[in-house]
Chain A
């Protein structure tokens, strides 16, 4: 039976023969991110709905929105961190392990800074959440975003350890790519949150 499909190209073959994860890994991550964005879409839906339904202003009278300064700072932090992540990805594509270590540490450290700054907001939000629909929706967006930041930082920690153990290379960088994709996604969500909650 004449066939043209090259065996080594077939994922079932690759996976089975080498015991290595196929390119499905990255697709899986993308799909997971799609589902994560729907989660945030749900929260935004609630925000816009409550805002449209509120009678008497948004935020309602008597409710002071949380300070905006940390959000501005964090926007810068998030962007810088993503930039570091881009560098990390490029580094490993060149098989530059040391460079990867440095960049991923920088990105992770900025992630931690982000959470530290965010904790300032939370001191205010703790009360706001219980007082009004405005506060509840505001808090939820920030809390669930920050949880993702935390997850991202943990992932970077894993990358760091793997890299130190020498388990990351140009040919085995799925974890780095996945972490990076997730991190860009988190940054993207932050930009939307920033625009919606603080700028409008």
Chain B
């Protein structure tokens, strides 16, 4: 297993090691008996007639009872681990259960389950994770979630379309993120960068639905956050095609778009972007001329330009949009 960095992951890891040891033991017994029999009891003479043993009560009882005990031990350990995991809840207070989105009672139980320092709303959609920060600055990030280190974080997650799953192996238990329902995870991580990815098959670009968690010390986090909040409203410098290219290639754009000779090999969007700048209109929308201003509008919110389009709102920052526009206009 990947090295655990949270308490929950640590608990899972410990349980895994114990159960693995029991499994290996069982494995050795079975394979040992098997190999011994093959070597020892090979037929040596064609007319050999072994003793006709039909069974043995005592032996059979042994190999019923011993595995039963082993299994009981595994069960007990698992239940114990579950009980100790953060906010798994007791049997009468099942917080780890997925709840209907408007289930207020469940919501209250979740609030009570565990003291938290920060709650971030997560939306899983084909094929990107979006994180909405609290605080009313409208800060939203895609794919990468930046959190303060060593703080209790809770993610309130739901899906916009099909089922996705939140899986950060180093951070603790995986959980499905269902449309119309809420799922919750809690974690508290040391500084560092962690990677995981969507773990329920969700369509063409399921493989590209990466999730990253970057934990920064509080001071650095605050600095990062302030920058995000500022960038959300205005761009600080003119668009830079190189930065735009970087952004494009390292974000979910590549999941859907195709640009010859680059990492962008997605085939979701109907037209390639290889020669995008030569297209007269954007998104084949009559009268929506392909110019910088319209392109910025498109990137800011595709749905408002062309309702029902398959391109999601990626909640790009003003600066990011400027860079992307600059880059896309070089595609001739």
Give A53 to B99 CA distance when docked, in angstroms.
10
B15 at the interface (CB under 8 A from A): no
Shortest beta-carbon distance, B125 to chain A, in Å? Answer: 23
Mask for B100-117, Cβ within 8 A of A = 1, else 0? 101100000000000000
A55 at the interface (CB under 8 A from B): yes
> How many residues of B are in contact with the other chain, CB < 8 A?
3
For the A-B complex, the count of residue pairs with Cβ-Cβ distances under 8 Å equals 4
Within 8 A of A (CB), among B71-108: 100, 102-103
Q: Point out the residues of chain A lying under 8 angstroms from B103, CB to CB.
A: 55
Mask for A53-70, Cβ within 8 A of B = 1, else 0? 101000000000000000
Give A53 to B180 CA distance when docked, in angstroms.
12
Secondary structure at chain B's binding surface: helix, strand, loop or mixed?
Answer: loop
Q: Point out the residues of chain B lying under 8 angstroms from A55, CB to CB.
A: 100, 102-103
Shortest beta-carbon distance, B100 to chain A, in Å? Answer: 5
Give A187 to B311 CA distance when docked, in angstroms.
53
Within 8 A of A (CB), among B96-144: 100, 102-103
Mask for A32-67, Cβ within 8 A of B = 1, else 0? 000000000000000000000101000000000000
Shortest beta-carbon distance, A100 to chain B, in Å? Answer: 54
Shortest beta-carbon distance, B179 to chain A, in Å? Answer: 13
Give A134 to B103 CA distance when docked, in angstroms.
20
Shortest beta-carbon distance, B42 to chain A, in Å? Answer: 37
Give A53 to B103 CA distance when docked, in angstroms.
11
Q: Point out the residues of chain A lying under 8 angstroms from B100, CB to CB.
A: 53, 55
Give A53 to B100 CA distance when docked, in angstroms.
8
Shortest beta-carbon distance, B180 to chain A, in Å? Answer: 10
Give A46 to B181 CA distance when docked, in angstroms.
19
Give A53 to B181 CA distance when docked, in angstroms.
11
Give A55 to B102 CA distance when docked, in angstroms.
8
Task: Identify the closest chain B residue to A56 (Cβ).
Answer: B102
Shortest beta-carbon distance, B279 to chain A, in Å? Answer: 40
Give A53 to B102 CA distance when docked, in angstroms.
12
Chain A interface residues toward B at CB < 8 A: 53, 55
The 4 lowest CB-CB distance pairs between A and B, nearest first, are A55-B100, A55-B102, A55-B103, A53-B100
Chain B interface residues toward A at CB < 8 A: 100, 102-103
**4 A-B interface contacts by CB (under 8 A):** A53-B100, A55-B100, A55-B102, A55-B103
